[in-house]
Amino acid sequence: MSETAKFVLGDKTHEFPVHVGTENEKGIDISTLRGSSGYVTYDVGYKNTGATKSSITYISGEEGILRYRGYNIEELANKASFLEVAYLLLEGELPTASELSSFEEEITRHTLVNEKLKFVFDALPSGAHPMGQLMTMLSMFSAYYPEALNPHRSEEGRKLTIIRLLAKMPTLVAMIMKNKQGHPNVYPKNKLGYVENFLRMTFGHVTEDYTIDPVVVSAMNKLLILHADHEQNCSTSAVRLVGSSNANLYASVGAGVAALWGPLHGGANQKVLEMLEAIKDDGGDTDKWLNKAKDKNDPFRLMGFGHRVYKNFDPRAKIIKKSADEILEKMGINDPILEIAKKLEQAALNDSYFIDRKLFPNVDFYSGIIYRALGFPVEMFTVLFALGRLPGWMAQWKELRAEGQPIGRPRQIYIGTAERPFLDVNKR
Does residue number 265 form part of the binding site for ligand CMC (CB under 6 A)? yes
15 phi and psi angles, rounded to 5 deg:
-110, 135
Is the Cβ of residue 177 or residue 363 nearer to ligand CMC in the bound state?
363
Is the Cβ of residue 130 or residue 368 nearer to ligand CMC in the bound state?
368
The answer to whether the beta carbons of residues 356 and 311 sit under 8 Å apart is: no
Is the Cβ of residue 61 or residue 157 nearer to ligand CMC in the bound state?
61
72 phi and psi angles, rounded to 5 deg:
-65, 140
Residue from 83, 70, 282, 334 nearest 196 by CA: 83
Look up 307 and say whether it is catalytic.
yes
Is the Cβ of residue 183 or residue 294 nearer to ligand CMC in the bound state?
294
Does residue number 311 form part of the binding site for ligand CMC (CB under 6 A)? no
The residue from 199, 276, 293, 394 that contacts ligand CMC (CB under 6 A) is 293
Size of the site for ligand CMC (CB under 6 A): 21
The answer to whether the beta carbons of residues 156 and 163 sit under 8 Å apart is: no
The answer to whether the beta carbons of residues 152 and 161 sit under 8 Å apart is: no
Only one of the segments 48-56, 110-118, 138-146, 304-312 lies at the binding site for ligand CMC (rule: CB under 6 A); that segment is 304-312
Look up 11 and say whether it is catalytic.
no
Per-residue contact string for residues 42-81; x = within reach of ligand CMC by CB under 6 A:
---x------------------------------------
Dihedral over Cα of 290, 294, 300, 304: its sign: positive
Only one of the segments 79-87, 302-310, 368-376, 403-411 lies at the binding site for ligand CMC (rule: CB under 6 A); that segment is 302-310
Per-residue contact string for residues 348-387; x = within reach of ligand CMC by CB under 6 A:
---------x-x--xxx-----------------------
C-alpha 286/C-alpha 292 separation (Å) is 10
Helix, strand and coil percent figures for the chain, each rounded to 5: 55, 5, 40
C-alpha 390/C-alpha 388 separation (Å) is 6
424 phi and psi angles, rounded to 5 deg:
-60, 150
Does residue number 315 form part of the binding site for ligand CMC (CB under 6 A)? no
Element housing 265 (H / E): none
Which residues are known catalytic residues? 307, 364
Footprint on this chain of ligand CMC (rule: CB under 6 A)? 45, 230, 233, 264-266, 268, 293, 301-308, 357, 359, 362-364
